[in-house]
Copies of this chain bind each other. A is one copy, B any other.
């Protein structure tokens, strides 16, 4: 098992993330090896494990003597499990061929395996939560978070091929599909870690802003790297009518310039996409998107800096700064 190298310098987090992955593997060990291998491969494919990592980092702001280690690991693991379930189901919808450089579950094994693998992970998600807590309020919060996450995906879906999509519509979708789970992960880390009421309150806000900035940066990187081979090419998204922040901002400058290209929909060629990327560059879509993402990053860092002073706070600050300023 290889934990992403970004956690090499935090051996404690690295070790606990390994425990999370082991626990998820234990819960997804089943007789059907196609499904099991599918899930194990995804677990071993080098994802950043950001959601459980933020969970664990926030938990370290609390009193370790009051914590139940096994419950912490189960709850942290649950955040990654929900993330993976939605990844697998999203790939069915997008008809994606690759994810993290590997063939997607549905491309490799067919959509039936993908549907069941995602559903199985959703059962494991609530199984882990039931292990992690004696409070059905926590279960309720997770069920509602899962619902909001899906509503964010649906908002994105409802806006496909919409060249009039507004920033507000994009933001609503991002808040659901990405920020919701970052918010939940940070909050639950603070909550399960028995931190103070003040830290718990701030943890949600921090996660919310990190999630928004993270998704915006992801969308920016999709475009700025579009001349290389990408794990998940922007071409597919645009062909499927998923228009993200850089394109939305450029569209607002000159919609007419994009119409001849975007109206080809699934018939768009790589050359068409190159033209779209050039137009986005011309209308400063990437620059403007960077500015907006920077606003959310700044907010996240500001609230982190208001946390009580401790070494863990510095780690959280550094990590967030690095993550939201990456160019890879």
Contact = CB atoms under 8 A, between A and B. Distances in A.
Interface in A113-165: 115-116, 118-120, 122-127, 129-131, 133-137, 139-140, 142-144, 146-147, 150-151, 153-155, 157-158
Interface string A72-96: 0000000000000010010011000
Interface stretch (A28-36, A44-52, A197-205): A28-36
A92 B116 contact: no
Interface size class of A (residues with CB under 8 A): 35 or more
Nearest to A128: B143
User: DSSP majority for the A interface?
Assistant: helix
B157 A116 contact: yes
Contacts of A150: 116, 119-120, 123
A124 B143 contact: yes
A291 B126 CA distance: 39
A103 interface: no
Contacts of A129: 136, 139
Given A92-B115, A111-B92, A119-B122, A130 B143 contact: yes
A12 interface: no
A137 B130 contact: yes
A60 to B, nearest CB: 25
A267 interface: no
A255 B118 CA distance: 36
A115 B111 CA distance: 11
Contacts of A135: 136
A92 B112 CA distance: 7
**In the assembly, how many copies of this chain are there?**
2
B126 A143 contact: yes
B111 A127 contact: no
A142 B119 contact: no
A140 B151 contact: no
A116 B32 contact: no
Nearest to A134: B136
A126 B111 contact: no
Contacts of A142: 126
Contacts of A147: 120, 123-124, 127
Given A122-B122, A123-B143, 6 more contacts: A32-B154, A32-B157, A116-B150, A130-B139, A136-B136, A139-B139
30 contacts: A30-B151, A32-B151, A32-B154, A32-B155, A32-B157, A86-B119, A89-B115, A92-B111, A93-B111, A93-B112, A93-B116, A112-B157, A116-B157, A122-B146, A123-B147, A124-B143, A124-B147, A126-B126, A126-B139, A126-B142, A127-B143, A127-B144, A127-B147, A129-B136, A130-B140, A130-B143, A131-B140, A133-B136, A134-B136, A135-B136
